[in-house]
C-alpha cells in the first residue's frame, strides 16, 4: 500500500490487535469456568481497559498522522514517531494492547486471558529485541539509534525525551 488510508488502518487493527485483544481472549474466556467476582478487581480492570484503549488509540493516530503509515508490517510508518507517549517509552502501542489484555483478565475475571497477556508480553519482548528494533535501525538509522539510547523499551521515563 503506497498511501496509508483510514481503510488500511482499519484493516490492520482488525487483522492484528483485533485478533490478539479480541478474538483470542474471547475464545480463551469461553473455555473457562466462571471465577469469583470482586468489585475492586472489576474496577481496576476497567481502569486498565480505559488506559489501554486511550494509549492504543493515541499511538494509532500518531502512526497515521506523524508516521504516515499503519501498525501493520505491510504498511509501516515512513517516519520515526517520537512524539506523545513515544517520548516516554519505545513501545506504547504494545503497552496499550497489553493493558487491554490485563483489563480483560481482571474484568471477566479470567486466568486464561491473564496467561495470554503474559505470553503476549514475552513474545513481543523477543520480537522487538531481535526483529523490530534491528529493522527500525535499518529504516531510520542514526535517528533511531539516538532515540533508542534515550527511551526505554517497556518502562516509561518520567522525563520525556525531546528530539
Written as one string, the DSSP assignment of 71-121 is SSTTS--SS---SGGGGT-S-HHHHHHHHHHHHHHHHTT-HHHHHHHHHHH
pLDDT tens profile 60-69? 999 999 999 8
What pLDDT is stored for residue 1 in this prediction? 41
- Asked if residue 7 belongs to a domain, the reply is no
Residue 94 is part of which domain span?
37-150
User: Domains in the chain: how many in total?
Assistant: 1
Confidence of residue 4 (pLDDT cuts 50, 70, 90): low
Flag whether pLDDT at 153 surpasses 70: yes
- Asked if residue 163 belongs to a domain, the reply is no
The CB-based long-range contact list for 125-129 (8 Å cut-off, 24+ gap) reads 125/153, 125/154, 128/90, 128/91, 128/94, 128/153, 129/153
| Alpha-carbon dihedral sign for residues 59, 65, 66, 70 | positive
- Asked if residue 8 belongs to a domain, the reply is no
- Asked if residue 20 belongs to a domain, the reply is no
The packing angle between helices 6-15 and 39-65, to 10°, is 140
- Asked if residue 96 belongs to a domain, the reply is yes
Backbone angles phi, psi at 16, to 5 degrees: -105, -80
- Asked if residue 106 belongs to a domain, the reply is yes
Amino acid at each position: 500500500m503506497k498511501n496509508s488510508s483510514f481503510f488500511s488502518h482499519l484493516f490492520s487493527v482488525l487483522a492484528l490487535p483485533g485478533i490478539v485483544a479480541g478474538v483470542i481472549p474471547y475464545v480463551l474466556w469461553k473455555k473457562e469456568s466462571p471465577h469469583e467476582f470482586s468489585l475492586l478487581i472489576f474496577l481496576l480492570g476497567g481502569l486498565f481497559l480505559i488506559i489501554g484503549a486511550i494509549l492504543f488509540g493515541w499511538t494509532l493516530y500518531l502512526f497515521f498522522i506523524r508516521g504516515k503509515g499503519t501498525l501493520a508490517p505491510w504498511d509501516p510508518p515512513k517516519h520515526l514517531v517520537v512524539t506523545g507517549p513515544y517520548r516516554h517509552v519505545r513501545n506504547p502501542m504494545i503497552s496499550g494492547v497489553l493493558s487491554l489484555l490485563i483489563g480483560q483478565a481482571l474484568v471477566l475475571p479470567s486466568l486464561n486471558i491473564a496467561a495470554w497477556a503474559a505470553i503476549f508480553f514475552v513474545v513481543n519482548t523477543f520480537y522487538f529485541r531481535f526483529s523490530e528494533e534491528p529493522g527500525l535501525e535499518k529504516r531510520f538509522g542514526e535517528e533511531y539509534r539516538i532515540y533508542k539510547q534515550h527511551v526505554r523499551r517497556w518502562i516509561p521515563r518520567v522525563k520525556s525525551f525531546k528530539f
